[in-house]
Amino acid sequence: MDPFPKEGEGAAAGEPSRGAAPSSGVVVQVREKKGPLRAAIPYMPFPVAVICLFLNTFVPGLGTFVSAFTVLCGARTDLPDRHMCCVFWLNIAAALIQILTAIVMVGWIMSIFWGMDMVILASKYS
């Protein structure tokens, strides 16, 4: 006897199939909650974001450091309630974390992912 019922067969004889029910039409929306460091990543023009990704790949934290100055030039972030200087220092803090933890590879990986987030945000910005 087969321990698993075949497609269209119920576990017991005469039991209807459960997979044939239509969907109820429920819409679920998922929204990512970002921490303050992650929300401080600026929306930059695409070429600038690619340069920051390149810099972050080869010198961890350098692209994040450069992106901090785009905030002072008026780049928008996901922290509209914070002052521009506060967001600038959050980006500087993220760059320092990436530089200091690059010794154990954590900062380097974080730096590359940070650069990828910059490019993703820039592509949404365009």
> Per-residue pLDDT tens for 62-86?
999 999 999 999 889 988 888 889 9
Range(s) of the domain holding residue 115: 43-123
In this prediction, what percent of the chain has a pLDDT beyond 70?
81
In a domain, 22, yes or no: no
Residue 119 maps to a domain: yes
Above 90 in pLDDT, residue 125? Answer: no
| Res 15: pLDDT | 52
Q: Number of structural domains, the chain? A: 1
Predicted TM-score (pTM) of the model is: 0.72
Residue 57 lies in a domain: yes
Is there a domain that residue 48 lies in? yes
Domain-located, residue 16: no
Q: pLDDT grade, residue 120 (50/70/90)?
A: very high
pLDDT digits (tens, 9 = 90+) for 88-117: 999 999 999 999 999 999 999 999 999 999
Count CA atoms closer than 13 A to 1's CA, side-chain side: 4
Half-sphere exposure of 89 (CA within 13 A, CB side): 4
**Residue 64 placed within a domain:** yes
61 class by beta-carbon count within 10 Å (0-12 exposed, 13-18 middle, 19+ buried): buried
